[in-house]
Amino acid sequence: MIYVILITYLAFTFWGSLIGVKMKSSTPESYFLANRNLGTISLFFTILATNFSAFYFLGFAGEGYKIGYAHYVIMALGTALASISFFIIGVKVWVLGKKNGYITPAELIYGETKDRRLGLLFSSVMIIFTLPYLSLQIIGGGFILENLTNGDVSYPLAVILLTVFTIVYVVIGGMESVAKTDLKQGLLMILFMFLAVFFISKELGGISKANQMTKSIMPELFDITGRNQHYTPQKWFSYLIFWIFCIPMFPQLFMRFYIARDLQKLRSSALLYAFIPLVISLFPVMIGVWGHINFPGLEGKEIDQILPKMLLLHTSEIFSAIVMTGAIAAFMSTLDSQLLAMSTMFTRDIYLPLRKLSISFDQEVRLGRILVVIFAIIGMVLAFKPFDTIFDMGKMAFSGLAILFPTAYFVTRKRIKRTIYLKIGILTSLAVLILFYYDLLPDYLAFGFEPFIICILLSFFIQYFSVENLMKTKKIIFK
């Protein structure tokens, strides 16, 4: 029965979106950017499904288990604050993209600064730091498929199957099919998570009862600082501000700024994007918090499996199979967007400029497809041996991407005179980030904040010297 649900769901979600898409794409804009013609609902759901991934389903539930309700607020309000960056840079990116025909993030950086090396650096950093995030989707899918089939499909086999399926799907469809899938996927994801909370809480005697039980077992899960004083005021500040800088720098999300039909659609999507996390971030965190009632004492990477464990214990086999298959499809809808974005970026920003080649659209798509396969295989290899928990792998990837925010900000909103400072800013902040990650710099140098805050500030500080008229403060409002 589980296999029937799995195959039917995946077929319904993915193959349906391919119908009518295959032969339509004849230009880079249609294949990579769905003709810059997405309305509010499609745009919002493609942003949502692209962004809420394994990190949302498994990572949020795992952190809810590990830290408590504080994690919900940080993720929900932090994500809502990120919608401000849709206005800070998203609007500018849309305007410049439409005017100058940019397709990748680095094309905008190069186009506005005329510095090829800066474009190369920007694109390379985006690709390198998206790889761990990409592998997270495969890891999450692998965990769930293994759980769902009671180990009949082993983790390595699950990883291989999911990677192959996604490759086939992305290679055939392009952005238009990805966006169509995201719409269905986003709607189903919200519905399933709501139902999962409903059924699990019903089994536990209602939401109030479940909360009371958990509070009696582990009251720290209800503290504003979380369990083991995890979120100090400095950490609260760090995480609330973090998403503003990192979410728009996900390459797949940056490219979503280009594809809005007009600015009103982008605005409506930003407002919806601010609202929805208020509701949906709560679902996995609640399930994670309640996990202590049935599965006390989980440690390390086991924590990431609290959601499937709770589902299998409290709901029918068929329902857990549907939710978990939905989660797998959610991972794949993030994975497909990442693969498409990365292959496009590598082709247009790195390979073609370095080889000084000019090729036809057909050749470009063919090259992009080969790169989809290569990046998917790299992600798969990383997934065989995850180097950290889902949340911490995500944090590392996101920190590297957030360092690029000042570059995008200054390039889109200021007149740039000295691009060398943009490059120095990126490289120095990355070096500091890596030193912190490998404990080569002591934690006290971050003054109690998360190290990525120091790196982002450093990046802003150095890159500010690239701006023309340094001392004149300009009004930067809504222009």
SS (H, E, C) 333-383: HHHHHHHHHHHHHHHHHHHHHHHCCCCCHHHHHHHHHHHHHHHHHHHHHHH
Site for another protein in 91-110 (CB under 8 A): 91, 95
CA distances from 41 to 48, 64, 139, 174, 278 (A): 10, 29, 29, 19, 18
Q: Does 218 bind another protein (CB under 8 A)?
A: no
- CB 305, CB 143: distance < 8 Å: yes
Residue for token pair 């391919």: 18
Q: Does 212 bind another protein (CB under 8 A)?
A: yes
Judged by CB under 8 A, which of 93, 158, 179, 240 binds another protein?
240
Q: Does 435 bind another protein (CB under 8 A)?
A: no
Judged by CB under 8 A, which of 168, 172, 207, 374 binds another protein?
207
Q: Which is nearer to another protein, 223 or 302 (CB)?
A: 223
Question: Which residue type is seen at 396?
Answer: M
Q: Does 267 bind another protein (CB under 8 A)?
A: yes
- CB 115, CB 419: distance < 8 Å: yes
Q: Which two tokens stand for residue 16?
A: 């349906």
Residues 131, 134, 140, 143, CA torsion sign: negative
Q: Which is nearer to another protein, 26 or 264 (CB)?
A: 264
Q: Which of 118, 113, 121 is nearest to 414 (CA)?
A: 113
Q: Which is nearer to another protein, 245 or 375 (CB)?
A: 245
* Gap between the Cα atoms of 195 and 355, Å rounded: 52
Q: Which two tokens stand for residue 248?
A: 């728009």
Q: Does 469 bind another protein (CB under 8 A)?
A: no
* Count of H-run helices and E-run strands, the chain: 25, 0
Q: Which is nearer to another protein, 143 or 258 (CB)?
A: 258
Q: Does 215 bind another protein (CB under 8 A)?
A: yes
Q: Bridge-partner residues for 51, per DSSP?
A: none
Tell me, what DSSP letter sits at residue 303? G
Q: Which is nearer to another protein, 12 or 198 (CB)?
A: 198
Total residues found in the chain within this entry? 479
- CB 65, CB 400: distance < 8 Å: no
* DSSP class per residue in 237-290: HHHHHHHHHHGGGSHHHHHHHHTBSSHHHHHHHHHHHHHHHHHHTHHHHHHHHH
Q: How far is the CB of 256 from another protein (least distance, A)?
A: 17
The dihedrals phi and psi of 38, each to the nearest 5 degrees, come to: -95, 135
Q: Does 245 bind another protein (CB under 8 A)?
A: no
Judged by CB under 8 A, which of 203, 223, 302, 392 binds another protein?
223
Q: How far is the CB of 194 from another protein (least distance, A)?
A: 14
From the list 21-29, 47-55, 258-266, 290-298, the region that binds another protein by CB under 8 A is: 258-266
Q: Which is nearer to another protein, 72 or 254 (CB)?
A: 72
Judged by CB under 8 A, which of 241, 322, 341, 396 binds another protein?
241
Q: In 3-state terms, what secondary structure has residue 199?
A: helix
Q: How far is the CB of 171 from another protein (least distance, A)?
A: 34
Residue for token pair 């089994």: 203
Q: Does 264 bind another protein (CB under 8 A)?
A: yes
Residues 382, 387, 389, 393, CA torsion sign: negative
From the list 100-108, 155-163, 266-274, 334-342, the region that binds another protein by CB under 8 A is: 266-274
Q: Which is nearer to another protein, 180 or 227 (CB)?
A: 227
Judged by CB under 8 A, which of 106, 204, 270, 433 binds another protein?
270
From the list 28-36, 44-52, 239-247, 455-463, the region that binds another protein by CB under 8 A is: 239-247
Site for another protein in 52-91 (CB under 8 A): 69, 72-73, 76-77, 80-81, 83-84, 87-88, 91
From the list 136-144, 146-154, 259-267, 307-315, the region that binds another protein by CB under 8 A is: 259-267
Q: Which is nearer to another protein, 60 or 236 (CB)?
A: 236
Q: What are the contacts of 271-276 at 24+ separation with CB within 8 A?
A: 271/83, 272/40, 272/44, 273/44, 273/47, 273/48, 273/79, 273/80, 273/82, 273/83, 273/86, 274/79, 274/80, 274/83, 275/80, 276/48, 276/190
Q: Does 274 bind another protein (CB under 8 A)?
A: yes
Q: Which is nearer to another protein, 87 or 387 (CB)?
A: 87
Q: Which is nearer to another protein, 81 or 131 (CB)?
A: 81
Q: Does 302 bind another protein (CB under 8 A)?
A: no
Q: Does 233 bind another protein (CB under 8 A)?
A: yes
* Number of residues binding to another protein, judged by CB under 8 A: 40
Q: In 3-state terms, what secondary structure has residue 441?
A: coil
* Gap between the Cα atoms of 233 and 158, Å rounded: 40
Binding site for another protein (CB under 8 A): 69, 72-73, 76-77, 80-81, 83-84, 87-88, 91, 95, 207-208, 211-212, 215, 222-224, 233, 236-237, 240-241, 244, 262-264, 266-267, 270-271, 274-275, 278, 476-478
